[in-house]
Amino acid sequence: MSTSYSVIIPAYNAADTIAETIESALRQTVSPARILVIDDGSTDATRMIAETFGGCVGVQSQANLGPGAAMSLGMRQCDSPLIASIDADDIWLPEKIQRQLDYLHRHPKCDGVFARMRHFGETVVSDVIQDGWGRSTMLIRRMVYDCLGDIVDPAGRRGEMIDWIARAREGGMELTMLPDVLALRRVSSSSLSAGRDSQRDRSYAQVAIAALRRKRARLNGVSGT
C-alpha cells in the first residue's frame, strides 16, 4: 500500500494558530507529500503566515464559503492516494499518520481511519478525551471523495462532517476509530465548534433531515440526494 498522503487545512482567521498546526503536520514520522492550506476568506494574516513555510506547504484562497467548501476544494486538487486533514487550530501528535497508515496496511478493506483527541486550551481540563469523528483525525483513501463528492456546508456551517461521514457509511464504506489519542483539539471561544446559537443548531437539524430523506429514498428504491 502506498504511504503517500496529502494534508488539507481549511483555515479562516487562524493567524494565531495556523503555524503550530502546520508544524505538527511537518513533524510527522511519515512526511506528507503535500500540505495544502485553503484560506477561506480570512481577513487576518492567515495566508501570509502559511506562505512563509514554503516547501511542500501550498496555500490557496477562496471567498468565505465555509469549511466544507474549503475541504472540497482541497480534495479536488490532491492527487495522492491518501488524504488527511486537520482544522487550523488543532495539533497532530508526531506518530498520528504512522499509526493510521499501519492500520490501513493491515486492513486493506478499510476506507478511512480516525483517532481519539484530547482537549486543550487555557480553560480546558486536559484529561477530556473524545472520539475524533471529524476533519482533524481523518485519513481516507482518495476513492472515498471520488465516490461521495463534495462536503456540503449547512446554513450555520456546522455539522458538515457529520453529514459527509454519514453519507460514507450509507454508501457501505468502512470507517474505523482507533483507540489511540493521536491529536489535540483546541477549545476556545474563537473555535468554529465553540458556542451555540439558533443558526448553528439549525445546521444540525438540516443534517438530520438530509439523513432521513436519504434513508426514505433508499427504502423506496430511489437514489437519495
Q: Which three cell numbers stand for residue 3?
A: 504511504
Question: How far apart are the C-alpha atoms of 176 and 165, rounded to whole Å?
Answer: 11
Summarize the confidence of residues 198-215 as an average pLDDT.
48
Averaged pLDDT score across all residues of the chain:
88
Q: Which residues pair with 58 in a beta bridge?
A: 36
Phi, psi of 40 (to 5 degrees): -90, 60
pLDDT value of position 124? 62
pLDDT tens for residues 61-102?
999 999 999 999 999 999 999 999 999 999 999 999 999 999
What pLDDT score was predicted for residue 208? 45
Return the bridge partners of 131, or none: 116
Is residue 118 within 8 A of residue 42, CB to CB? The reply is: no
Q: How confident is the model at residue 154 (pLDDT cuts 50, 70, 90)?
A: confident
- Multiple choice CATH, 5-219, 3.40.50.300, 3.40.50.880, 3.20.20.60, 3.90.550.10: 3.90.550.10
Domain ranges of the chain: 5-219
Mean pLDDT over residues 23-40, rounded?
98
Q: What is the mean pLDDT of residues 32-55?
A: 98
Element (H or E) spanning 21, and its range?
A: helix 18-26
Residue 207 confidence (pLDDT) above 70: no
Round to whole Å and give the CA distance between 42 and 64.
7
Residue of higher predicted confidence among 224 and 149? 149
d(CA 133, CA 161): 8
